Amino acid sequence: MADTEDPTVNVSDAEGRCRYEIEFEGQLAGLADYRLDGDVITFTHTEIDPAFGGRGLGTKLIEFAVTDARSRNLAIVPQCSFVRKWVAEHPEEG
């Protein structure tokens, strides 16, 4: 699954690494690590490379990850503070 709204941004689930990744203009810009246990996904860490800061990539990354998790009927545990804040600000989506 990829973000098709912005051709310079691609978000995907790198399942083998247990993380969502976001690329900006073909370069890895950030990631959201997770643990999957049955039907529960726990987001443990989110990071955006400072070189890509200020573009809203963290928000795009988490929005994609939460939407993907919900589409798979996974319960979300926002252990990471960034994800926890995003979910609190978007209760209808998280």
Q: Report the residue count for the chain.
A: 94
Question: If you write DSSP's letter for every residue of 12-61 in order, what string do you get?
Answer: EEEGGGTEEEEEETTEEEEEEEEEEETTEEEEEEEEE-GGGTTSSHHHHH
CATH code for the domain in which residue 54 is found? 3.40.630.30
Residues 6+ apart with CB under 8 A from 56: none
In sequence order, the β-bridge partners of residue 75 are: 40
Which pLDDT score, from 0 to 100, does residue 61 have?
Answer: 98
Is the pLDDT score of 81 beyond 90?
yes
Which pLDDT score, from 0 to 100, does residue 3 have?
Answer: 46
Predicted TM-score of the model (pTM): 0.89
Query: Domain of 33?
Result: 9-89
pLDDT per residue as tens digits for the range 38-64: 999 999 999 999 999 999 999 999 999
15 domain residue, yes or no: yes
4 domain residue, yes or no: no
1 domain residue, yes or no: no
Counting the structural domains of the chain, the total is 1
Which pLDDT score, from 0 to 100, does residue 73 have?
Answer: 96
Which pLDDT score, from 0 to 100, does residue 7 have?
Answer: 79
Contact 22, 29 (CB under 8 A): yes
